[in-house]
Structure 1
Amino acid sequence: MTDLPAGSDLPQERRVVTAIPGPVSQELMARKQAAVADGVGTVMPVFARRAGGGVLEDVDGNSFIDFGSGIAVTSVGNSAEAVVRRATAQLQAFTHTCVMVTPYEPYVEVCERLAELTPGDHAKKSALFNSGAEAVENAVKIARTHTKRQAVVVFDHGYHGRTNLTMALTSKSMPYKHGFGPFAPEVYRVPVAYPYRWLTGPENCAEEAAAQAIDQISKQVGAANVAAIIIEPVLGEGGFIEPAKGFLPRIAEFAKENGIVFVADEIQSGFCRTGQWFACEDEGIVPDLITTAKGIAGGLPLAAVTGRAEIMDSAHSGGLGGTYGGNPVACAAALGSIETMLELDLPSRAKQIEEVMKPRLQKLAQQHGVIGDVRGRGAMLAIELVKPGTKDPNPEATAALAKSCHQQGLLVLTTGTYGNVMRFLPPLVIGEDLLNEGLDILESALTAL
Structure 2
Amino acid sequence: MQDFNHRLPQQRNVRTAIPGPRSQELEQQREAALARGLVPGLPAYIVDGDGGVLVDVDGNSFVDFASGIAVTTVGASNERVTTAVSEAASHLLHTCFLNAPYEGFVAVARKLNELTPGEHKKKSALFSTGAEAIENAVKIARNYTGKNRVAVFDSAFHGRTNLTMTMTAKNKPYKAGFGTLAADIYRVPGSYPLRDGLDGQQAIERTIRVIEQTVGTEELAAVVIEPIQGEGGFVEPAEGFLPALQKWCNENGVVFVADEIQAGMCRTGSWFACDKEGVVPDLITTAKGVGGGMPLSAVTGRAEIMDSPGPGSLGGTYAGNPVACAASLAAIEEMEEKSLGARALEIEAIIREELEPLLELPNVAEVRGRGAMIAIEFADEKGRPDAELTAQVAAACKAQGVLILTCGLDGNVIRLLPPLVINEETLRDGLQVLAAEIRKSQSPTHL
For 1:248, give the aligned amino acid: L
- Map residues 337-416 of structure 1 onto 2, 5 A cutoff: 337-366=331-360, 368-387=361-380, 389-416=381-408
Deviations 1:220-264 (A, max 9, x none): 221111100000000011000001111111111110000100000
Q: How far apart, in 2, do the equivalents of 1:55 and 1:41 lie?
A: 22
Q: Distance in 2 between matches of 1:237 and 1:264?
A: 15
Question: Residues 277-288 of structure 1: matches in 2 within 5 Å?
Answer: 277-288=271-282
1:426 aligns to 2:418 (yes or no): yes
Offset of residue 212 of structure 1: 1.5
Q: Aligned-pair distance for 1:185?
A: 0.6
- In the TM superposition, residue 72 of structure 1 has moved relative to its aligned partner by 0.4
Distance 1:169 1:205 in 2: 25
SS of 1:64 mapped into structure 2:
strand
The alignment status of 1:331 with 2:329, answered yes or no, reads: no
CA contact (8 A) 1:365 1:371 kept: yes
Which residue, out of 21, 28, 50, partners 1:52? 50
Which whole-Å CA distance do the structure 1 matches of 2:242 and 2:179 have between them?
30
Cα deviation, 1:92-131, whole Å, max 9, x if unaligned, reads 0010000010100000000000011100111111101110
Preserved CA contact (<8 Å) 1:275 1:349: yes
SS in 1 for 2:392: helix
CA contact (8 A) 1:194 1:205 kept: no
Distance 2:53 2:8 in 1: 8
For residues 182-225 of structure 1, the C-alpha deviation after alignment (integer angstroms, 9 at most, x for no partner) is 11110111101100000xx2xx3322221111111112221111
Structure 1's unaligned 5+ residue stretches are none
| Residue identity opposite 1:191 in structure 2 | P
Which residue in the other structure is 1:243 paired with? Answer: 237
Alpha-carbon distance in 2 for matches of 1:217, 1:447: 42
Match among 88, 91, 96 for residue 90 of structure 1: 88
Matched residues in 1 for 2:354 and 2:193: separation? 21
Q: Higher mean Cα deviation, 273-282 or 389-398?
A: 389-398
Aligned residue number for residue 104 of structure 1: 102
Asked if 1:417 is matched to 2:409, the reply is yes
Q: Secondary structure at the match of 1:107?
A: helix
Note the alpha carbon deviations across 1:36-92, whole angstroms, 9 max, x for none.
111012111100010010000000000000111010000000111111111111100
Q: Secondary structure at the match of 1:304?
A: strand
Instruction: For residue 447 of structure 1, report the CA deviation from its aligned partner.
Output: 2.5
Alpha-carbon separation, structure 1, partners of 2:422 and 2:382 = 35
- Residues of 1 paired with 2:439 and 2:194: CA distance? 24
Which amino acid in the other structure matches residue 373 of structure 1?
A: E
Distance apart, 1:181 and its partner CA? 2.4
Aligned residue identity for 2:413 = V
Kindly state the Cα deviation for residue 353 of structure 1 after the two structures are TM-superposed. 0.1
2:435 to 425, 443, 448: 443
| TM value normalised by structure 2 | 0.98
- The answer to whether the Cα contact below 8 Å between 2:157 and 2:230 also exists between their aligned partners in 1 is yes
Equivalent AA in structure 2 for residue 417 of structure 1: L
Are 1:275 and 2:269 matched, yes or no? yes
Q: Counterpart in 2 of 1:117?
A: 115
| Cα distance in 2, alignment partners of residues 421 and 219 from structure 1 | 32
In 2, Cα distance between the equivalents of 1:298 and 1:346?
13
CA separation in 2, counterparts of 1:79 and 1:37?
A: 28
Q: SS at 1:93's partner residue?
A: coil
String of CA shifts for 1:8-61, please: whole Å, max 9, x gaps: x21111100000000000000000110011101211110001001000000000
Q: Is 1:227 aligned with 2:221? A: yes
What is the identity, as a one-letter code, of the residue corresponding to 2:376? I
Deviations 1:325-344 (A, max 9, x none): 00000000000100100010
Question: Counterpart of 2:130?
Answer: 132
Map 1:199-238 → 2, pairs under 5 A: 201=197, 204-238=198-232
The alignment's TM-score, normalised by the length of structure 1, stands at 0.97
| 2:301 equivalent to 1:307 | yes
The one-letter code matched in structure 1 to 2:66 is: G
What is the CA–CA distance in structure 1 between the aligned matches of 2:351 and 2:412, rounded to whole Å?
19
Identity across the alignment (%) = 55
The corresponding residue for 1:296 is: 290
Deviation at 1:298, TM superposition (A): 1.3
8 Å Cα contact 1:274/1:377 also seen in 2: yes
1:317-359 per-residue CA deviation (whole Å, 9 max, x = no partner) reads 1110000000000000000100100010000010000011113
